Chains A and B, each alone.
Chain A
Amino acid sequence: EAGVAQSPRYKIIEKRQSVAFWCNPISGHATLYWYQQILGQGPKLLIQFQNNGVVDDSQLPKDRFSAERLKGVDSTLKIQPAKLEDSAVYLCASSLEGKHSNQPQHFGDGTRLSIL
């Protein structure tokens, strides 16, 4: 089974620039998550999709972050404009579950974003 694919693996940009990350979940996984993992901390959920609908985006800084999953498969996460504090690893995960489940989340390798 192919895992969760993310690209790019690394990205370096200057503050106030824009950046986009891409995620392809495991085939058949209805639920997709984007996490932000700042160095030395655990992952923090940014947004959760169920198919192409948003389940939870309460921790997404909506003034600069946006995400979409138009066809219920691939997803993109965008930051515009980037700030220094956005330097982190952005992890994508997917799972089989519906709204109520203990299904594990499968994570991608992440994108390491550095803001200069």
Chain B
Amino acid sequence: AQTVTQSQPEMSVQEAETVTLSCTYDTSESDYYLFWYKQPPSRQMILVIRQEAYKQQNATENRFSVNFQKAAKSFSLKISDSQLGDAAMYFCAYRRTRANNDMRFGAGTRLTVKP
């Protein structure tokens, strides 16, 4: 079974600073996808960034980037120049590429941004 672990229930960062959210996962698959989703207090989940396991290059989306360490099964999210609007729950998710490709989510990290 694939499991996703987010070991930081809560994190805080000063506005304009950088913060890194941790995620590890367990799988026996060699090909899969990894995602970070953001869930603001309004509850709608929004995709932040995604990574294909076969790609060695780390994905980047504006201020968001990942550090994907396949051997260590680690997938951390770095938020640079944090903004007040970044405050939310962040969920790491894993998905197989084969049939019945259900998404497995971690328990989430609540990020607080201090002005």
Contacts and interface: CB of A to CB of B under 8 A. Distances in A.
Interface of A: 3, 33, 40-45, 48, 55-56, 58-59, 89, 91, 93, 99-102, 104-105, 107-110
Given A102-B52, A104-B47, A40 B107 contact: yes
Interface string B12-45: 0000000000000000000001010000001111
Given A102-B52, A104-B35, A41 B108 contact: yes
Interface of B: 4, 33, 35, 42-47, 50, 52, 91, 93, 95, 97-108
Given A56-B102, A100-B97, A43 B107 contact: no
Residue of B33, B44, B52 with highest tally of chain A CB at under 10 A: B44
A41 B107 contact: yes
Contacts of A100: 97-99, 101
Given A41-B107, A42-B105, A107 B44 contact: yes
Contact of A42 (B42, B97, B108): B108
